[in-house]
Structure 1
Amino acid sequence: MSGTSVDGVDGALVEFPLDSSVAAGTALPRTLAFRSRPFPAPLRGQLQALQAPGHDELGRAALAANALADLYAGVVGDLLEAAGTAASDVSAIGAHGQTVRHRPELGYTIQLLSPARLAELTGIAVVADLRSADVAAGGQGAPLAPAFHATVFAHPRLRRAIVNLGGIANVSLLEASEVFDGRLDTTGSVPAAPVLGFDTGPANTLLDLWCERHTGQAFDLDGKWAAGGRVLDGLLESLLDEPYFRIAPPKSTGRDLFDARWLERKLAESGAGGAEPRDVQATLAELTAITVAEPCRQFAAREVWVCGGGARNAHLMGRLAALLPGVSLADTGRLGIDPQAVESMAFAWLAHRHLAGLPGNLPSVTGAGGPRLLGARWPAGGNPIRR
């Protein structure tokens, strides 16, 4: 997985039990290894630049896709080495790629990757292009993780919210599993009480952008810089006055909306262009906390479990806790899954669904016309992995 934070690649080696539950897509996964690699600076810069139109865009995108496949292959090699596993023992790589455009309202979403190159480098089949079938069926193509969250995180008696604080924040709202079967069946039909989920708005993408611009650091460690600032009420009001926040789900978003230009416009509109940078950082953190906490509160979640890089932002976690009094809030590590690994595990699960011939989307989340088999498969190549 490489997400909208554009900071690197996360990979998980995941095992599914070989029994009848696999055919139904209900087998619970076990993580054998988790590894990450940061983006080399030139690749990171190119991926960020490709978020907007530019010169020789198609050629640059193709080269970036090749470089990304090479980096993915390196992470695969790290995983195999860590787990003492041979490439021949792996059924498939579920590969997300790097989103550079997400415009489901126009009928497309683009995740850069060269799946054929990745299959050749690793000697492992690759399942990729995991969003476009949902978009073709009229869906948002995102978020896809709620189906996985329902499978592994639903509680028998309590309503839970799973919050992913990546570049973009999203929530999965899970009814108690005694109320419904929270796992997808063999037809991929929607549970009796549908799982709900959507992108709430920006998280690390704007926090990281502002922090790097003003401190030279790639991210705000533990949220300490934001914690030293004060929330600017006028700016916060302007940030919250964004039509996206008023759209009813299904909905998804990305850097196509929440980028530097959006932030600069809001700073100008609110008269905060000359504000103390750490106060702007504190206000951006408050924006994320408010837009995440509100749906959890409306859903009356008893427990909120956080994953993604933002789970390590102590200031942001503290603000969420303050906005959700009486609600248990912690990261998914307490449920046995590293919060950094959840999303890459979700794409392993989606590849697992694909190989079983089963749908991976939830129409109640994405708005698609029905369950769809997600992704396409590239067969294993003939070369051993190159590092």
Structure 2
Amino acid sequence: MSDELYIGLMSGTSMDGLDAVLVDFSAAQPQLLQHYSQAIPTDLKVELQQLCSPGNNELHRLATADRQFAEYNAEVVMKLLEQTNLSPQAVAAIGSHGQTVRHIPNALTPYTMQLGDPNTLAALTGIPVVADFRRKDIALGGQGAPLVPAFHEALFRQRIAQGSSAAVLNLGGIANITILAGDGSHVSGFDTGPANTLLDLWYQLQHPDSEVGYDAAGEYGASGKVLDQLLAAMLADDYVQQAPPKSTGREYFNYPWLLGYLEHYGETENAWSAEDIQATLVEFTAATVAKGLKQSAKTPIGKVFVAGGGAFNSHLMARLAAHYPEASWHSVKALGVDPQHLEAMAFAWLARQFMLRQPGNLPAVTGASRATVLGGLFLP
């Protein structure tokens, strides 16, 4: 077994698939050795999406999906190892994020729930699993998210935040930002609001037969016009106006949320089309990210590096730059990291932090009372 080879697993709010990466931490900078992605089986994806909202017979359905998602994770891990000709014994540990189905950090009794039983994953792969990363931070009064800013600081600080502040933006189902102060004094970050969750949802409703299931390059959104009154109403949303630390997910930004705004404000617009709704959702994402950048940065941000599937949406990228022209906008590919794999690498890093008994959270980001080791270890 290598003490420095770790696998990271990440399936985001969009639930479009699982990204698995093999990372070597033996050098000064982590090296991505291999990656493998696989779509979530349709029946399992539908069940996971439904579990994000209250429903019948939840306990049995959740327990069943927990096991099934772990089996699917194990299948992906073994295919990743086949590509590298490595045995399970060569890997120090798997860092498994799990699939979030509920994230309620601001309730009287706060909680977060990620599925993908780590006991099953460890047993099926023969590799130690580090999982359940979010609940310790919540136990300490934090949001439990976002957790990637600590990794962003470790990976990028020396390369992108020299002299002027820089930001890393992840455009997954939810958009989250990491601000790295140019003088090295602090790191901040939070979930700014939805990104691909609402964009994909609306696109799929209008294109039920689409093979890809998302607005490739943003062409559909670019074909519509922004509905100003609808946008203004959404920008006044309680979550958008809430001060950080804050985090959110599919249980908040979902179809009922969108439908509520459409019912109240859609009819106040003159004639509008489905393309106009898509254009307005793009503008909403861009505006909330820009608001977050302005809200968090104590000094002007010189560069923003973008990861996640949204980095490939050229229309969204153009609107982001229009809303925050003070910075230059780049894909994290400019830093040698594929936009699709950054978050999975973060959970490989978090697994390593656990094995080294090093903190994985940033209290300034999550609001936890202190830094702490995150996760738990599950042996084969």
TM-score of the two chains, using structure 1 as the length reference: 0.90
Letter in 2 for 1:268: E
Separation (CA, whole Å) in 2 of partners of 1:99 and 1:36: 18
Separation (CA, whole Å) in 2 of partners of 1:271 and 1:326: 32
Write out aligned runs for 1:14-25 (5 A): 14-17=23-26
Tell me by how many angstroms 1:321 deviates.
1.6
- SS state at 2:301 partner: coil
Q: Which residue of 2 aligns with 1:225?
A: 220
Tell me by how many angstroms 1:295 deviates.
2.6
Separation (CA, whole Å) in 1 of partners of 2:22 and 2:138: 28
Answering whether residue 150 of structure 2 is matched by residue 135 of structure 1, we say no
Write out aligned runs for 1:1-387 (5 A): 1-17=10-26, 27-106=28-107, 107-154=110-157, 155=160, 156-176=162-182, 179-180=183-184, 193-216=185-208, 217=210, 218-272=213-267, 275-298=272-295, 299=297, 300-380=300-380
Q: Percent identity?
A: 49
Letter in 2 for 1:167: G
Letter in 1 for 2:31: R
Tell me by how many angstroms 1:74 deviates.
1.9
Cα distance per residue 1:49-94 (max 9 Å; x no partner): 1011112111111111111112211221222122232211100000
Separation (CA, whole Å) in 2 of partners of 1:101 and 1:323: 31
Letter in 2 for 1:174: L
Separation (CA, whole Å) in 2 of partners of 1:39 and 1:378: 23
Q: Which runs of 5+ in 1 are unaligned?
A: 19-26, 181-192, 381-387
Q: Which residue of 1 aligns with 2:7?
A: none
- SS state at 1:263 partner: helix
- SS state at 1:101 partner: strand
Cα distance per residue 1:254-280 (max 9 Å; x no partner): 112111000000111113498311100
Report the count of equivalent residues. Answer: 358
How big is the alpha-carbon RMSD for the aligned residues of Structure 1 and Structure 2? Answer: 1.3
Separation (CA, whole Å) in 1 of partners of 2:48 and 2:112: 15
Q: Residues 87 and 123 of structure 1 are in contact (CA less than 8 Å); yes or no, is this contact kept in structure 2? A: yes
Tell me by how many angstroms 1:320 deviates.
0.9
- SS state at 1:303 partner: strand
Letter in 2 for 1:288: T
Q: Which runs of 5+ in 2 are unaligned?
A: 1-9
TM-score of the two chains, using structure 2 as the length reference: 0.92
Q: Residues 146 and 190 of structure 2 are in contact (CA less than 8 Å); yes or no, is this contact kept in structure 1? A: yes
